[in-house]
Structure 1
Amino acid sequence: MANQVLLKGGLLIDGNGGGVIENAGVLNHGERITAVGPVDLIPVPENVEIVDVEGKVIMPGLVDAHVHLIGVKNLNLMLAVLEPTEIQMGRALKDLPKLIDAGVTAIRDVGSPVALHIRNLIKDGVYEGPRVKTSYKILGQTGGHGDIHMLPPEFNMNRTCDGVDDCRKAAREQFRAGADFIKICSSGGVLSEKDDPRSPQLTVEEISAIVYEAEAVGSYVASHAQSTQGIINALKAGVKTIEHGILIDEEGIELMLENEAYLVPTLAIVKRIVDVGDQYGVPEFGLRKARTYYDLHIQNMKKAYAAGVKIAAGTDFAGCDPVAHGGNALELELLVNDVGVTPMEAIVSGTKTSAEAIGLGDEIGTIEKGKLADLIIVDGNPAEDISVLLDTNNIKQVYVGGKRYKNGEAVKKEVELI
């Protein structure tokens, strides 16, 4: 019989953005939530484990909608592709407990040769970690952002594709390998040497072919899109999520609203590169481009937020300094401090909206009856001070599908079996 756990007496933030519930209770039966609300109104079944979380906050686990579970040593991609993937997989596996420790219960990997295998190992119970959705290899044009064009083509870890037919085949290859969705590059980027964030990449026709293949198998496309035209092209072709969105303009914002697309700003990686990237081997071209566009990026995110665009939280962290996993709540803090969202809106971005963006909105992201019991117990109230989530010592318990992966002693005031 599945274990039943009642989290009792905490302040509930359910992820929907509404009011909090004091002296709340959440009853988990196996992997799912079976009751939520004032604890006095929840019938207590026999043989239930009661965990007293009085003085703590119960909230959904964090969902990082843009990471690279890739195990690189640094952000110099030329060096990364020269390492064996087996070594990188070893490093990436070490990142799983860091993510759990930070309260991250689900991630979307947007490009990694090893994340697909790590996802499968977690599903098989060989390793413990957050839920993983992955695109496997990134699709991009020859000489574009997805092409490691500082090295000969045979070193490329991603999949270059040119023309409608080749793009269609490339998408099919990723799904054949087991990808959950497709990641493309419809513009240049910051950490690629020879292209420019202002440049569009892939045509609308090429992107449309990839979107068709994704939708044919019930999936979707996420696009690295920093240039104004690259964002517009991706949205016209039916892309679901826009990653970065640095140079989004009014037309792009309108298209996002019309298409009900999601924007994943990834402010955290740029902030870290601008602040300390020069101390950790970030190439000079990456430092220069990050510094050039950082302020403009923030201003355009403010415009998108004011217009009502759906914003999901993603860090673009890759597991190495200065973007090591474990500090993933930085994205929420930047949304509050730089973009101007409220702490509660940031929580929704990092839970409910991110879950929707990665295709798991029906299962996780909010604490509701019937959903998977992905939740965390926090010391401090992030709805009042979002920075509480940045200190992993404040994340006292972490549950993924009802299974407790982190169990802070400070929470265990009362643990008993009835």
Structure 2
Amino acid sequence: MSLLMRDGRVVYLGPADGEPDGRDADVVDASGATIVPGLVDCHAHFTGLGGANWIARFGDPDSELLARADEAARALTRMGVLTARDVGAPHRLNLKIRDAVRGLTEAPQILAAGTWIARRDKFPPFTVFVDSAAELRAAAIAEMNAGADLVKIAVDTGRTGDEVTFTVDELAPTVKVVHERGRKITAHAQGKGAAVAAAAGVDSIEHGFGVNAATAATMAGRTALVPTLSVLESFIGFAATDGGRFAEGKHASEALREQAFAAVRAAKKAGVRIATGSDFGGGSVRPGHLAWIETGGPADVVLVHGDPLSDPAALWRVWRVYHRGERVS
């Protein structure tokens, strides 16, 4: 099998005996490696620091929030993550970050949602707060007018999402206007809000620990699930390294992790599209923790040691990364 990249695109993908003349190309002997498409992190926060105090760190000065983006971008590309979806930043700083790194080899392509939108006082203070369906719709329009690639709303609150903050009827006008603009809308829903968001027709549900068979059936063919399982693993790990509330809540975190696994199983059984998301920065995870390859497509490829289909851990054994055909150092 041979892969030829030129001018940032894949120009040949096929049997080695049929490859075009590549005498002017740099040849890489990738024997024993697997070529996979550039990876995608569908739930990221470039302004976040992660760690045990991730929420508080969103309150740091804008200069500090922006400074984190460069380190995060480099960490992601070194690991082969070449596209990332930033689903919330204070003061729409992710739009500035997206524009600043656009076209850089050592930074992923970023799709940015601007700032979270939530019911007043039901989400952390760095959010755009609204009090009604009309204000929710207006806030979504404001994010799109500012240049957001997608809109992010919070439809439940609390660690387990027991309190739903908008009804289907309140969400529907916002979903409609976002779709009329040709954009996507996603919902933060850790618990009961998933059913409401799915019924309102959002394009994806973030976290989705409360997705059950009935909600998954509503989502099928329309709404994707972006689980953030690594966050729950970090909560459990912090019980030993940070103690305090994490130690006290360890059993609850373990139970929530099992609930999250059940949600993924329910989504898979119903045929729901599932996208991977780390929640780095916005959750306790830090950065670095798919698309496809085809002739004419972007030359975003990763060489790993091993076969990730039989051994998913192979995706951690990154050998080389090529972004737009250029090797990431």
Higher relative contact order (CA 8 A, sep 6+): 2
Secondary structure at the aligned position of 1:310 is classed as: coil
| Contact preservation (8 Å) 2:302, 2:318 | yes
Match of 1:65 in 2: 42
1:140 maps to amino acid: A
Counterpart of 2:203 (choices 235, 240, 255) is: 240
Q: Which residue in 2 is equivalent to 1:398? A: 321
Q: Work out whether residues 33 and 303 of structure 2, in 8 Å CA contact, stay in contact via their aligned partners in 1.
A: yes
The corresponding residue for 1:103 is: 80
1:276 is displaced (CA, Å) by 2.4
Root mean square deviation, CA, Å:
2.3
TM-score by length of 1: 0.72
Aligned match of 2:272 in 309, 313, 324?
A: 309
**Superposed CA offset, 1:120-145 (max 9, x none):** 111164x830111110101111132x
SS of residue paired to 2:75:
helix
Q: Quick one: which amino acid aligns to residue 13 of structure 2? A: V
Partner of 2:178: 214
Q: Contact 1:76–1:281 at 8 Å: present in 2 too? A: no
Query: Which of 99, 108, 128 is the aligned partner of 2:106?
Result: 128
Measured in 2, the distance between the counterparts of 1:277 and 1:173 equals 40
- Displacement of 1:291: 3.8
Structure 1 residue 299: Cα displacement: 2.0
Q: Deviations over 1:382-406 (max 9, x none)?
A: 122111223xxx2121112222213
Report how many aligned residue pairs link the two structures: 326
The change in CA–CA distance for 1:301 and 1:213 in structure 2 (over 3 A counts) is same
Deviation string, structure 1 residues 129-163 (Cα, Å, up to 9, x no partner): 0111110101111132xx21xxxxxxx22111121
SS, match of residue 222 in structure 1:
strand
Structure 1 residue aligned with 2:281: 318
Deviations 1:171-205 (A, max 9, x none): 11111222110111111242xxxxx5122121213
Paired with 2:114 and 2:13, the residues of 1 have a C-alpha distance of 36
CA 1:202 to 1:124, structure 2 compared with 1: closer, same or farther past 3 Å? Answer: same
SS of 2:20's equivalent in the other structure is coil
Partner of residue 237, structure 2: 275
Task: Indicate the SS of the match to 1:50.
Answer: coil
Q: 1:289 to 1:224 in 2, by over 3 A?
A: farther
Secondary structure of 2:14 counterpart: strand
Paired residue type of 2:56 = L
Q: Contact conserved, 2:194 with 2:208, CA < 8 A, in 1?
A: yes
Cα offsets for 1:314-367 (capped at 9, x unmatched) = 1112188x512112xxxxxxxxxxxxxxxxxxxxxxx1xxxxxxxxxxxxx100
Q: What is residue 290 of structure 1 aligned with on the other side? A: 253
What stretches of structure 1 of length at least 5 have no aligned partner?
A: 1-23, 149-155, 191-195, 328-350, 352-364, 407-418
User: Would you say the 8 A contact 1:74–1:280 is kept in 2?
Assistant: no
After TM superposition, the runs of 4+ consecutive aligned structure 1 residues lying more than 4 A away are: 280-289
3-state SS of the aligned residue for 2:28? Answer: strand
Letter in 1 for 2:228: T
Within-5 A mapping of 1:142-291 = 142-144=120-122, 147-148=123-124, 156-190=125-159, 196-228=160-192, 230-257=193-220, 259-276=221-238, 279-280=241-242, 290-291=253-254
Is 2:303 aligned against 1:377? yes
Sort the Cα spacing of 1:120 and 1:286 in 2 relative to 1 into closer, same or farther, 3 A. Answer: farther
1:180 alignment partner AA? D
Indicate the percent of aligned positions where both proteins have the same amino acid.
Answer: 30
**What TM-score comes out, normalization by structure 2 length?**
0.91
The CA deviation at 1:210 is 2.0
